[in-house]
Amino acid sequence: MKHRIVIAVLAAILVCASEASAGQESCPRTAAHVPDRRAAAAAAQEVVYQVFVRSMRDSNGDGKGDLLGLIDSLDYMQSLGVTSLLLTPLYPSHFYHNYFAYRFDGVDPDFGSMADFRRLVAALHARGMKIYLDQEVQYTESTHPWVTTPPGLLDEPTSDDILWDDSAHTRLSSGPFGLRTVRSFGNPPLTLDTVNLKSPVVQGYFHDFFLSWLDLDRRDDFTHGVDGFRIDHMMDDLDGKGVLTHLFAHFWRPLFARLREADPQVRLIAEQADWGYGRDFLTRGGADQVFAFPLHAAIRSFDRDQIAAAIRATAAATPPGKGQLLFVENHDVDRIASDPGITPEKLRTAAALNLLLAGTPLIYYGQELGMRGREWHQFQTDELGIGVREAFRWRADDQAPMEANWYRGGEIYWTQRYNRGHDGVSVQEEDGDPVSLLNFYRRLLRLRHAHPALHAGSQRILASASPLLVIERAAGHEKLWLVANMGSRPAHFALPPAAAAGATDLLGRAMVSGGAIALAPYQSALVATP
């Protein structure tokens, strides 16, 4: 109990525990974080690979992806061109996705041990790569020690760690989206609870918790820990309940300030719960980066005007020194390869926009292979997302030992799975094919890393006739044009006379002749001029 008291005292010093009055901050403001433009530029040079850990690679034959499997995957990831890994949560959980912990410290035994995690971090850093951990600390499941304190024992030190709906602490508050009991893959139904983020003890605990991942050996040496965090479901008023309010000022900003004080290079990424442009999360929330949700939806619409509008609005919402993560799919949405009307050409153009626009690109594991997947809407919770979290396809044989088929069984998410053996969508089947989607991603990333205009340059949308989307990327004397035909018929883009001579498509696919680029339906080109 002594350590909890010490933590509470420290928390009281670090953050103010009093309630905020309506529209007023009753706590002193934390020192403003001044965005570092050099750090933002470095982030723009990153390419992040989001891994659903349980599905990536099995190293021990139990059918579950694990940390040692990730180490075995690094050669592949680096050859793809990614520089950073973003892992879904690692803490112990009875949920297959690990977003609701039954304890926050440590690593889920399904994934390995803390020693395995240290090996992974060391292997990444030895390659010059970074690692970010996804964290959702706002909720627990009902076997967490903070929840199992007998109701009504107000003198117990854990009584304020969890949110209650009554002052007598007899009714626990629900979890996210009003959920209480949730059907769970492989387990009986589980109960969710909300953590009381206004408790000084909780705040102190999480300050220490996050710092422990930055400094794994507790030696004030941050070179051996993680490089940052993704904050899942970040909100200022948690779930709109009107109870855990002003969390930007009273929880997140003090936490971020403590992390930056310890490690000025830490990167803090907010998943804005409203899936908007994220300006409030970058300013009042204090995050370094948010996810470009509106641009993601626009790219998948293949509507020129919608994409152009989203590019402009995303730039306007991003203050200097802050950033956006660009993506076309993730673990919470259907895979783009399963979109209605999708074609191989559309997949390539979506990839070009994902990887060549201004911002930090994020690739969801298997996206580069064209893995398919949709949510199973006959399941209301938990199992709904299995269809977009299937095993990464290493081999043509989807039953090969390294395949992480943890969802194997009699349910439809196995019997009707989206990705199957010898379907052409695997590393083994695409690796040696020069025109495969995998090798197109590799080409895009080689170009991005080689050309400052693509990873550090300015960006502007050029006027063009519909359905052509033309985007200029420039840095110094280098100027490149990303041209995409967003129509269902062939189109031509006429180059300015000064740029026509010697123009080439760096993607090596579009015809450039007579001062014009001929584009097939939904085809894209990256035009360079001498």
pLDDT tens digits for range 165-202: 887 777 888 888 888 888 889 888 888 999 999 999 99
Residue 215 lies in a domain: yes
- Reduce the DSSP state of residue 430 to 3 states and report it: helix
Q: Measured between alpha carbons, how far is 326 from 472 in angstroms, rounded to an integer?
A: 17
- 437-450 and 67-80 helices cross at what angle (nearest 10)? 70
Which band of pLDDT confidence, cut at 50, 70 and 90, is reported for residue 13?
A: very low
Q: How far apart are CA 287 and CA 296, in angstroms?
A: 20
Instruction: Provide the pLDDT for residue 39.
Output: 67
Report the C-alpha gap between 74 and 129 in whole angstroms.
10
What is the reported pLDDT for 149? Answer: 60
Selection from 102-106, 147-151, 257-261 with the highest mean pLDDT: 257-261
- Asked if 440 and 469 sit in the same domain, the reply is no
pLDDT reading at 262 higher than 60: yes
Same domain, yes or no: 500 and 426: no
Q: Return the pLDDT at 520.
A: 95
Q: Is 286 exposed, middle or buried (0-12, 13-18, 19+ CB in 10 A)?
A: buried
Q: Is the pLDDT of residue 67 over 50?
A: yes
- Close Cβ partners of 100 (under 8 Å, ≥ 6 residues apart): 93, 94, 136, 139, 140, 141, 175, 190, 192
Question: What Rg, from alpha-carbon coordinates, does the chain have?
Answer: 24
Kindly report which listed range (5-9, 402-406, 495-499) carries the lowest average pLDDT score: 5-9
The predicted pLDDT at position 420 comes to: 96
Condensed to tens digits (0 to 9), the pLDDT of residues 423-458 reads 999 999 999 999 999 999 999 999 999 999 999 999
Please give the pLDDT value at position 443: 98
- Give the pLDDT band (50/70/90) at residue 30: very low
Hey, CA dihedral for 400, 183, 112, 86, is it positive or negative?
positive
Pick from 92-101, 119-128, 165-174: least confident: 165-174
Q: What is the pLDDT of residue 159?
A: 62
Eight-state DSSP code of residue 524 = E
Tell me the C-alpha to C-alpha distance, in Å, between residue 257 and each of 265, 390, 431: 12, 37, 44
Interatomic CA distance for residues 434 and 455, integer angstroms? 24
11/134 same-domain check: yes
Cα separation of 425 and 153, whole Å?
56
Q: Is the pLDDT of residue 8 over 60?
A: no
Tell me: do 433 and 461 sit in the same domain.
no
Question: What does the pLDDT read at residue 509?
Answer: 83
Q: Give the start-end residues of each E strand in 332-434.
A: 360-364
User: Does any domain span residue 194?
Assistant: no
Confidence band of 333 (pLDDT split at 50, 70, 90): very high
Which residue has tokens 């998948």? 300
- Please report the pLDDT score of residue 12 as a whole number: 37
CATH number for the domain that contains residue 480:
2.60.40.1180
In a domain, 7, yes or no: yes
**What pLDDT, on a 0 to 100 scale, did the predictor assign at position 454?**
97
Tell me how far apart the alpha carbons of residues 131 and 228 are, in angstroms, rounded to a whole number.
7
Last-in-domain residue among 446, 469, 484: 446
Residues 335 and 220 reside in one and the same domain:
yes
Regarding whether 321 and 420 lie in a shared domain, the answer is yes
Residue 146 lies in a domain: no
Nearest residue to 331 via CA among 34, 18, 88, 3: 88
Domain annotation covers residue 512: yes
Q: Which helix (H) or strand (E) holds 414?
A: helix 412-415
Same domain, 297 and 318: yes
* Last residue of one domain, picked from the residues 446, 475, 496: 446
Lowest-confidence range among 289-298, 316-325, 431-440, 504-513? 504-513
Are 325 and 275 within one domain?
yes
Residues 516, 470: Cα–Cα separation, whole Å: 13
**C-alpha closest to that of 329 among 292, 357, 358, 378:** 292
Residues 97 and 44 both lie in one domain: yes
Task: Report which DSSP code applies to 101.
Answer: B
8 Å CB contact between 355 and 47: yes
> Nearest-CA neighbor of 367 among 445, 441, 446?
441
The percentage of residues in the chain with a pLDDT greater than 90, rounded to a whole number, is: 74
Q: Which helix (H) or strand (E) holds 253?
A: helix 253-262
Edge to edge, what strands does the sheet with 139-141 contain?
139-141, 187-194, 181-184
- Regarding whether 363 and 270 lie in a shared domain, the answer is yes
Last residue of a domain, one of 406, 421, 446: 446
Q: Cα–Cα distance between 444 and 290 in angstroms, integer?
A: 23
Q: Do 435 and 302 fall within a single domain? A: yes
The answer to whether residue 149 sits within a structural domain is: no
Residue 527's beta-bridge partner residues?
481, 505
Q: Please check whether residues 120 and 76 belong to one and the same domain.
A: yes
Residue with tokens 């000064």: 498
The dihedral region occupied by 491, where left means phi > 0, alpha psi between -120 and 50, and beta the remainder, is: beta
The mean per-residue pLDDT over the stretch 363-369 comes to 98
**What is the pTM assigned to this prediction?**
0.91
**Residue in this structure with the two tokens 């060549």, named with its chain if needed:** 356
Q: For 380-389, what is the mean pLDDT?
A: 92
β-bridge pairing 187-194 and 181-184: antiparallel
pLDDT for the residue numbered 31: 44
Cα-based distances in Å from 495 to 143, 483, 498: 64, 11, 8
> Would you say residue 301 lies in a domain?
yes
Count: domains in the chain: 2
Please calculate the CA angle 350-392-333 and round it to the nearest 5 degrees. Answer: 50
The H or E element that residue 200 is part of is helix 200-214
Torsion of CA 213, 219, 224, 228, to 10 degrees: 40
Average pLDDT along the chain? 89
Contact 372, 417 (CB under 8 A): no
Give me the mean pLDDT over the 39-43 stretch: 68
Whether 189 is covered by a domain: the verdict is no
> What residue numbers bound the domain in which 237 lies?
2-15+33-141+199-446
Contact 20, 26 (CB under 8 A): yes
What CATH number corresponds to the domain at position 98?
3.20.20.80
